[in-house]
Amino acid sequence: MSGLVKDNIFGSSGSVIEAAGGLSWQPVVTASTVTVGAAKGYFINTTSNACTITLPSSAEAGDQVILIDYARTWGTNAITIDSNGLNFQGSDDTYTVDYDTAGQALNLVYSGATVGWTPSSDIINALEPVLPPTQRGMFAYGENASGKLSMKNLVNSSGVVAADVTGVGTARSGFSGAGYGFDKGIFAYGYTNTHVSMSNLVSNSGVIANDTTGVGTARNKVAAASYGLDKVIFAYGNSGSFTAISNLVSNSGVVSADVSGVGTVKMSGAAAGYGGDKAIFGFGYANGYPLISLTNLVNNVGVVAADTTGVGTARTSLGACRYGLDKAVFAYGESSSNKTAVSNKVSNVGVVASDTAGVGTPKQDIGSSSFGGDQGIFGYGYNGGFSATSNKVSNVGTVASDTSGVGTTRRFNCGLGYSQSA
């Protein structure tokens, strides 16, 4: 056979096949060579150089390796795959295997000695990047009748909420947070008895760091979400007046200066990631305190779009979380009539669905987090009294009934996902 093996590979047109359970995501690869292992995922960054990827020298049927074009530069600096003595889609190791199209993602599965490594998915992934699955979550801070709180409750990969852990950093409420750097998180802004802009980084083991001096306009009732796979955006809120400004957070957790606001000024909305690398802000109060259901999409470089006409019950003080890797759901909050448990799903292209009847106790001022790779959880809040109940969200967006509360009852807490390890 002549030519490159890539010329004989059939590329599918669907989404990247979801990784098998237990896949472990590794740090970003920037070297010119790397030897990979089975049951692992790798972000291959070829910004500065091409990369030769050596597969395991021995494998069993079902072994899996995922490779992702981290910087979308394989079109400039291609990857070459060394199958290390094993076959690659039926061809032996004497043939060249390379991938030179930007935005690809490879899901390689070993099928046995005859065919060897088979790309069950080798698509151009320009519009649907794959977000590594976040396994753990946490709820932190908030307030109750005793005042502002500094504590956290960890959520394991099965969605079980743990007991209180004494907090780190300044007690506050009305803040927000989201995950950055694939496996870490950040909380920022809020209210201590005054508006603040301080932040606290969260490690990939769930440790909250001491306060970092704030950047940007001090405000509370802000919302935050992950975007661009590994970055965060904070936006909107109340600084003494309603605002639409935003602040971007890099993949190393550095908060940027204010970015001029886009869309209706508002506070007490919610936000979540969707579509792998994008985000959506929605609902809340507009200036003068009318309840709204407007949404604003955020692209994969952190640019906030103009208002999209709202769908679903206008409400404030709700939560939002990602589910199913690339979709999101808004749920709970306070409507014009009372507290509610309605939810609204968000598709992987950012379309908000009409109301889904509420499940669980209606409540407001609720926190939310992802967990378990493709699930979410809402927790704590206020339902006429301070609450510690939680509600899981399945990988198809179904909100479950109440789970008995764990830890200190409170409202105005916030959740975020962290860790790629279960």
| pLDDT the model gives residue 97 | 85
Question: What is the location of CATH 2.60.120.640 in the chain?
Answer: 5-124
Per-residue confidence at 130, pLDDT binned at 50, 70, 90?
low
Average pLDDT over residues 152-174: 96
- Strands 40-44, 64-69: pairing kind: parallel
Per-residue confidence at 154, pLDDT binned at 50, 70, 90?
very high
* Mean pLDDT, the chain, whole residue set: 91
Distance, CA of 87 to CA of 110 (rounded, Å): 9
Per-residue confidence at 142, pLDDT binned at 50, 70, 90?
very high
Residue with tokens 């060249």: 96
| pLDDT the model gives residue 383 | 96
Token digits of residue 351: 């379309």
- Please give the CATH topology (third level) of the domain spanning 136-418: Neuraminidase (2.120.10)
- Using a 10 angstrom Cβ sphere, with 0-12 exposed, 13-18 middle and 19 or more buried, the burial of residue 409 is middle
| pLDDT the model gives residue 5 | 40
The SS3 assignment for 166 reads: strand
- Give the residues across from 173 on adjacent strands: 191
First to last CA, the chain: 44
Distance, CA of 307 to CA of 305 (rounded, Å): 7
390-415 pLDDT, tens per residue? 999 999 999 999 999 899 999 999 99
Distance, CA of 34 to CA of 81 (rounded, Å): 10
Distance, CA of 235 to CA of 229 (rounded, Å): 18
Question: What is the location of CATH 2.120.10.80 in the chain?
Answer: 136-418
The SS3 assignment for 6 reads: helix
2-23 pLDDT, tens per residue? 234 433 333 333 333 344 445 7
Per-residue confidence at 272, pLDDT binned at 50, 70, 90?
very high
The SS3 assignment for 364 reads: strand
Closest CA to 308 of 256, 342, 363, 269: 269
- Please give the CATH topology (third level) of the domain spanning 5-124: Jelly Rolls (2.60.120)
| pLDDT the model gives residue 140 | 98
179-228 pLDDT, tens per residue? 999 999 999 999 999 999 999 999 999 999 999 999 999 999 999 999 99
